[in-house]
Amino acid sequence: MPTESGSCATARQAKQKRKSHSLSIRRTNSSEQERSGLQREMLEGQDSKLPSSIRNTLLELFGQIEREFENLYIENLELRREIDTLNERLAAEGQAIDGAELSKGQLKTKASHSTSQLSQKLKTTYKASTSKIVSSFKTTTSRAICQLVKEYIGHRDGIWDVSVTKTQPVVLGTASADHTALLWCIETGKCLVKYVGHAGSVNSIKFHPTEQVSLTASGDQTAHIWRYIVQLPTPQPTTDCNQMSGEDEVEFSDKDEADGDGDGSSDCPTIRVPLTSLKSHQGVVIAADWLVGGKQAVTASWDRTANLYDVETSELVHSLTGHDQELTHCCTHPTQRLVVTSSRDTTFRLWDFRDPSIHSVNVFQGHTDTVTSAVFTVGDNVVSGSDDRTVKVWDLKNMRSPIATIRTDSAVNRINVCVGQKIIALPHDNRQVRLFDMSGVRLARLPRSNRQGHRRMVCCSAWSEDHPICNLFTCGFDRQAIGWNINIPALLQEK
């Protein structure tokens, strides 16, 4: 028996598939058929290199799409009319109750019951209507509450980390994939110091708790400790560069970012040699931090270990092993000898060095994807963020389950907590920055509009609670850091 060639079989399958697909498209009425026939005649009258069968299939598919949108639009209009009707009923029943001769208790009970029923109907109807065709009428946070103050532009590649000094003078530090770390004047946005001692991407920057010393981690498998001396320029009146309205989100190409390519750090002092270099890792050092007191430092690496160093001697004190995959972040407690490390193995670990003779470790398992960061906050709480689009608040005394869970629509990067007010700043892959409280209640989303806010992934956030001008900083892969003024009392009042 002769066999069918491969090309013929493929052509027959494609034809049958196209035929069955075309048969699955239903015509709802004769007017639609007439409209489709007219469109087909118009399309056939035009010059095209497509075969007629493909053109007919495309036309039928476009017709089906149009009908779906038309049906949704009609349904949306009907649901909005229902909302108006329910609003009128609510107003009418409220007036009828007010005019009725009922006792005060009966009046209160009936009005409350009727209002609650209609309110629930309104909510259900509104949710149903907006789930069909998405249209956002949600008001944005007032400019007076979340305001963009200053942009810090000078890096030639994405910025991984941002940090603020704990000592005077208060300056901003950024760590970038362009192999440099920059220190900035917060008020003027001018670059004060440029560190170029690393041979790889600078992934993290943290400042010493009492001295003008910085700790940076790099892709060159080292962490550097270097001293800086800065002199702030004469303060100038700040201008409001925030001219945002609504939630307009405009996409930008790389060409649009050409105005940020200028090297604003070219004329600032440059530091090339560190005080000391911490070299014990066999992979990228992704993060580093100071232990309380500043005499020891901890580093986290892609070699699946975290190392504890003596700063004065640069000697390795402890190698913290146990993670199954690369580490992503490390953080130290502000007042106790505690370290928390995050990993791609979906866990984060708490290391306890308070007792010199016992170095205990506790494992937290609550995420389903990479834990991008875990940070300490007030009391015995830790907040963790993950690529699984959740942020969880944990009690160190109960590791079994989180005390609060925040669910988002995008992966969460390096988070930071405003310790005094218990506000969490969440930087996202989708260019958004959101603020939540420790119980998981959303407080605000930082405004984004035409040429304002981040245009690429937001990598990190950092609070500076006592600074009078900028108390929140964010950085991202659009090569800029941004200083925000968050009116915290007003924010909490709107909660």
Listing DSSP states for 146-166 in one string gives EEEEEEEE--SS-EEEEEE-S
Backbone CA torsion sign across 406, 410, 416, 420:
negative
Instruction: Take residue 463 and report the two structure tokens written for it.
Output: 């609070």
Once rounded to an integer, what is the mean pLDDT over residues 431-437? 95
- Angstrom distances, CA of residue 181 to CA of 146, 272, 273, 446: 27, 11, 13, 26
Angle between helices 52-99 and 30-44 (to 10 degrees): 140
Q: Where are the alpha helices (DSSP H) in 24-161?
A: 30-44, 52-99, 104-132
The share of the chain scoring above pLDDT 70, in percent, equals 73
CB 330 within 8 A of CB 374: no
Q: Which tops the pLDDT comparison, 355 or 39?
A: 355
Give the Cβ contact number of residue 443 at 10 Å.
Answer: 20
* pLDDT confidence tier of residue 420, bands split at 50, 70 and 90: confident
Structure confidence at residue 341 (pLDDT): 98
Structure confidence at residue 234 (pLDDT): 66
pLDDT digits (tens, 9 = 90+) for 154-212: 999 999 999 999 899 999 999 999 999 999 999 999 999 999 999 999 999 999 999 99
Instruction: Take residue 50 and report the two structure tokens written for it.
Output: 């497509």
Structure confidence at residue 120 (pLDDT): 56
Once rounded to an integer, what is the mean pLDDT over residues 262-284? 87
Across the strands, what pairs with 6?
A: none
Q: Report the candidate in 353, 361, 355 with the shortest Cα–Cα distance to residue 321.
A: 361
Once rounded to an integer, what is the mean pLDDT over residues 25-38? 48
Structure confidence at residue 119 (pLDDT): 53
Structure confidence at residue 49 (pLDDT): 75
Instruction: Take residue 394 and report the two structure tokens written for it.
Output: 């944990």
pLDDT digits (tens, 9 = 90+) for 95-130: 444 444 444 444 444 444 555 555 555 555 544 444
What's the CA gap between 453 and 448, in Å, rounded? 5
Instruction: Take residue 289 and report the two structure tokens written for it.
Output: 């931090």
Structure confidence at residue 345 (pLDDT): 97
Angle at 256 between CA 255 and CA 257, to 5 degrees: 90
* First-last CA distance in the chain: 78
pLDDT digits (tens, 9 = 90+) for 289-336: 999 999 999 999 999 999 999 999 999 999 999 999 999 999 999 999
CB 286 within 8 A of CB 370: no
Q: Report the candidate in 422, 202, 209, 365 with the shortest Cα–Cα distance to residue 295.
A: 209
What's the CA gap between 394 and 325, in Å, rounded? 22
Structure confidence at residue 495 (pLDDT): 62
What's the CA gap between 201 and 285, in Å, rounded? 10
Which contiguous run of DSSP H or E holds residue 224?
A: strand 223-227
Residue 22, pLDDT above cutoff 50? no
What's the CA gap between 455 and 38, in Å, rounded? 44
- Beta-strand relationship, 276-278 and 358-365: unpaired
Considering the chain, what is the average pLDDT of its residues?
A: 81
Residue 259, pLDDT above cutoff 60? no
What's the CA gap between 144 and 468, in Å, rounded? 14
Once rounded to an integer, what is the mean pLDDT over residues 256-268? 58
Contacts of 53 (CB under 8 A, 6+ apart): 18
> Where do the structural domains in the chain lie, given as residue ranges?
148-227+266-492
Q: Which tops the pLDDT comparison, 14 or 396?
A: 396
Q: Which tops the pLDDT comparison, 232 or 132?
A: 232
What's the CA gap between 426 and 418, in Å, rounded? 11
Structure confidence at residue 222 (pLDDT): 97
What's the CA gap between 66 and 18, in Å, rounded? 20
The share of the chain scoring above pLDDT 90, in percent, equals 54
Indicate the range of 50-59, 235-244, 438-447 predicted with least confidence: 235-244
According to CATH, the topology of domain 148-227+266-492 is Methylamine Dehydrogenase; Chain H (2.130.10)
Contacts of 208 (CB under 8 A, 6+ apart): 166, 167, 214, 215, 290, 294
Structure confidence at residue 287 (pLDDT): 98
